[in-house]
A and B are shown apart, each in its own frame.
Chain A
Amino acid sequence: MTTPPPTPTAPLLTVRGLTVDFDGHPAVRGVDLDLHRGETLGLVGESGSGKSVTALAVLGLLPATARTGGSVRLDGRELLGLPARQLATVRGRRIAMVFQDPLSAFTPVHRIGDQIAEAVRIHQDVGRAAARRRAADLLDLVGIPDPARALDAFPHEFSGGMRQRAMIAMAVANEPDVLLADEPTTALDVTIQAQVLDVLRTARRESGAALVLVSHDLGVIAGSADRVAVMYAGRIVETAPVDELFAAPRHPYTLGLIGAVPRPDGRGGPLVPIPGRPPAAGEPAGPGCAFADRCPLVEDRCRTAEPPLTGTDADIGSGPGEHRAACVRADHLAATRPAPAEVYPVPALPAAVPRPRAARDSVLTVRGLTRSFPRHRGGLLRRRAGEVHAVDGVDLDVRQGETLGLVGESGSGKSTTLYEILRLAAPQGGRIELLGQDTATLDRAAVRRLRSRVQIVFQDPAASLDPRMPVGDVLAEPLLAQRTPKAEARRRVPELLRQVGLDPAHADRYPHEFSGGQRQRISIARALAVRPDLLVLDEPVSALDVSVQAGVLNLLQQLKAELGLAYLFVSHDLAVVRHLADRVAVMYLGRTVESGTAARVLDRPRHPYTRALLAAVPLPDPPAERARPRLLLAGDPPSPAERHLGCPFRTRCPVHPTLTPDRRTRCATETPPALPAAPGVDHTAACHYPD
């Protein structure tokens, strides 16, 4: 999508002074937007910024407790305050919506085909059979294989990517003028995200609709939007054409966001966290700029009045190409174009001086790990109905003081691998050696001693802390489990809180009284309580906002350097892995397909899967993102319930079809072993024909 020339025509959708309150708590505080025909507008912001509420308010889909003010006009016709029956004729017909979580957005008890056909029949006077045919065509349009059969599937029988495709099919069923997509790819894997964004582009092109793309992900926005609006605390703080916004942001918040995002290509220097945390939705705002408390460029006048969203003196004219920011320092930023690190304080991270790898002790060695789960059917007398091979040959090496990034899509067996390691028992197949001890040979006492040396930090800090336990008890629990005397465990609590940058006086508070980033710090403190050697980090930052995530990543790096920890860092986010990991292992269908030093694996990937994975990650850099070759993987990963002869990746492999027939036979019959790139080089790939 290239930037269209500024169109002189009247905008299709006009939002003016939109406000939304929930029980008197403002969530949106005066939003102005223009959307032109055929245009893609990216609406970006962190959780609680009001971006989704804005999108829902346009269609009047907010819950009854919300009070909406201002004006929303479609082709000049006011939508706010329209009677329900008239609004229903606009919804789905002129403006359609794609929701974030397609599992909960489809009614679980109705068939996919019926739900799409229903959307057709609400607005078009067609018969049952015709609507069904139309639904099949739509499913075909969004690339669902065998659409006629897919019509009869229930939502839970679809994969996440298929559901989101079906959701898009339903949205374009009546060829709407405006498509609102609220975080359409957030719940999806990166390769599936690339597919769905592609489908969204196709659907937009076919229906000629204008698109509002709501996302927290700057990369997604950079690759898809023509124009971007950045939201913070219920207001738009900056709006500009996409290239200009990323190249020369004029609001310190936008600048900070760009600086806080790790890049998968490893460029961009150290991460710059924005201090503090984003305000929660509905949090009362002071008289001044909502960002003032976190802003490094704050001045006295910022605290007295909220700056309006305006262009700088240098800009003349109006239209969609206009660049505006709500900051008193916008002129300064426009003139100097500083890098994020020049504006925000960059934390000084102690540099770890690792000894050469060979001289460091091994912390974790995994060889040929397998784990399969029986599938059962029936009630009282359960019968075995096959097996799911969740982990099917994983090799890992972690040495003291280093970070191994474990990368793979959902269903690749990453989490199962972690839990097998943490079980501290004999694995079903293969061998796990932890701190020099084979887990198959441990007795109960040894297991307990080893427990304190391996600890885990989970993905979702809200779920991994018992909501009913004060933080002091949370931190003392691992110590008590190790039979530390109660008094001593209590004494350690303030020390731990300090270690992760929290106030020791807050030990009496409950988890919900902390923000997401603080909760993840508590999880880290709990894991550190027993002074482990290895920390297993299961997606530790993926539930956090970008501006907060950088702070936690920096903390992890600092702790590693100070305490000499080793990390097993699991993530689906290659950019984060690129930033943190010393070595990387890539998993596909329960196997390690490529591993080696981060620089080698991520800069010179040998396995086609790693290449595809890297290609699917959107860059927060519009020109680079547009110039990047697109390498879409087809379909979903195959089911781990079937064992595959030969290379498990060949069904989706982009290289496989280009091979000569006899070479292809080899892929189909021989499982490729993991071989190093050259003797003695730390870089292996399990592919017959690596590049």
Chain B
Amino acid sequence: MSAELTAVAQQLTDEPVAPRGRLRLAAGRLAGSRGALAGLVVLGLLFLLAFVGPYLTPWDYAAPDYANLRQPPSGEHWFGTNGLGQDVFAQTVRGLQKSLVIGLLVAVLSTGLASLVGACAGYFGGWTDRVLTFLVDLLLIFPAFLVIAVLSPRLRGSGWIAFVLLLAVFNWMVTARVVRSMTRSLREREFVAAARYMGVGPFRIIWRHVLPNVSSFLIIDATVTVGGAVMSEAALSYFGFGVRPPDVSLGTLLAAGAADAPVFPWLFYFAAGLLVLFVLAVNLVGDGLRDALDPTAAAGRHRPRRRSRRRPTTPARRSTP
């Protein structure tokens, strides 16, 4: 108690110290998270490998070395060669480039789109909600795969960026529906009402109150999407709708190597290992970010839940289980 009093007294004499903002507090918490730092370092190293790697080896990812077919890793071919004599290391780093960019870009784009549409539909309600929900449902019932398959021959010229966009455009709908329903319950929460009665504008409320409160879900969703996008890319590429030979991605390498994995493990496990490492690093960063944004994360997880007393005037705000 006396410590508090002296603190108060000090405040009175000192220049009033302005409080730090939310972003700086969250950044500080993120920097303090060991897992997130480790994840960031691994991601950095992966990017380094992907973009510097090709210059480390004399072999080109597409050029065959007919003298060495299906050779295990050696000094010359670090990750060995495949059935065409192509260097697996060169292919792997080339594939890693593609997969890193595809995975991260698709995740960011689709989660961003989902949160924008979902939050707007949920917050504004009425016709905005009805139109956006119809749009979301419409996109949902067209299987993404069909559209991408139909469109991909058209987009062959514009390269994999178009492919990234397609994957993102057909990946956000379920997330948007979840964000919408979360926003609808947040909209009824008193702190949002308080902001409204203070005269805070709707987009500012979405940005400052709604999105931070669904951020845990958004981050988990984005990290899952990273892995999912790499997998979808692999699946589409398998049928020739995505990355096309001679170009490669981790997904196409996995698909090509899977059958040979028991006999020629280097064709499969280098790509698989890097993919797992990538997804793991993204998850670590995501976890750290989520905890940094959630102030209650570290404190009192195990405290027995206290039953709050509900009074009659509280409108029932329970979500249906």
Contact = CB atoms under 8 A, between A and B. Distances in A.
Q: Do chains A and B touch in the complex (CB under 8 A)?
A: yes
A504 interface: yes
A508 B212 contact: no
Contacts of A103: 316, 318
Contacts of B307: 47, 52, 100
Contacts of B313: 410, 414-415, 459, 538-539, 542, 570, 572
A90 interface: no
Interface stretch (B92-100, B168-176, B295-303): B295-303
B309 to A, nearest CB: 5
Q: Is the interface of B mostly helix, strand, loop or mixed?
A: loop
Given A468-B295, A469-B212, A463 B191 contact: yes
Nearest to A570: B313
Q: Is the interface of A mostly helix, strand, loop or mixed?
A: mixed
Interface stretch (A124-132, A296-304, A450-458, A609-617): A450-458
A436 interface: no
A510 B212 CA distance: 14
B304 A282 contact: yes
B74 interface: no
Interface stretch (A7-15, A30-38, A183-191, A237-245): A183-191
A409 B209 CA distance: 31
Interface string A394-434: 00000000000000011000110000001000000000000
Contacts of A95: none
Interface string A530-552: 10000000110011000000000
Residue of B18, B20, B213, B299 with most partner-chain A CB within 10 A: B18
Contact of A47 (B193, B302, B308, B321): B308
A106 to B, nearest CB: 13
Contact of A513 (B7, B17, B299, B314): B299
B190 A543 contact: no
Contacts of B302: 22-23, 25
Given A466-B213, A503-B4, A542-B313, A25 B308 contact: no
A477 B310 contact: no
Given A22-B304, A281-B304, A462-B308, A477 B296 contact: no
A493 interface: yes
A244 B7 CA distance: 44
Contact of B296 (A25, A467, A507): A467
A481 B304 contact: no
Interface in A458-485: 458-460, 462-473, 477-478, 481-482
B309 A281 contact: no
A465 B195 CA distance: 10
A495 interface: yes
B295 A512 contact: yes
B310 A101 contact: yes
Interface residue tally on A, bucketed by range: 35 or more
A494 B295 contact: no
A559 interface: no
A507 B8 CA distance: 12
A108 B311 contact: no
B197 interface: yes
B294 interface: yes
A295 to B, nearest CB: 13
A451 B20 CA distance: 26
A498 interface: yes
A24 B78 CA distance: 54
A25 B304 CA distance: 8
Given A216-B309, A508-B19, A543-B311, A503 B7 contact: yes
A468 B299 contact: no
Contacts of A660: none
Contact of B11 (A414, A472, A504, A539): A504
Interface in B204-229: 208-209, 212-213, 215
B263 interface: no
Contacts of B8: 498, 503-504
Residue of B19, B130, B208, B316 with most partner-chain A CB within 10 A: B19
Contact of A189 (B25, B209, B312): B312
Contacts of B11: 494, 498, 503-505
A456 B197 CA distance: 8
Contact of A490 (B19, B310, B314): B19
A48 B25 contact: no
A608 interface: no
A448 interface: yes
B198 interface: yes
A510 B309 contact: no
A481 B200 contact: yes
Given A470-B25, A542-B313, 11 more contacts: A103-B318, A410-B313, A414-B313, A455-B198, A462-B308, A490-B18, A508-B25, A512-B299, A513-B295, A513-B299, A543-B311
Interface of A: 22-23, 25, 27, 47-48, 52-53, 65-66, 100-101, 103-104, 108, 160, 183, 186-189, 192, 216, 280-282, 380, 409-410, 414-415, 422, 447-448, 451-452, 454-456, 458-460, 462-473, 477-478, 481-482, 487, 490-491, 493-495, 498, 503-505, 507-508, 510, 512-513, 523, 526, 530, 538-539, 542-543, 570, 572
Closest 6 pairs between A and B when the two form their complex, measured CB to CB = A472-B19, A507-B19, A510-B295, A490-B18, A464-B190, A410-B312
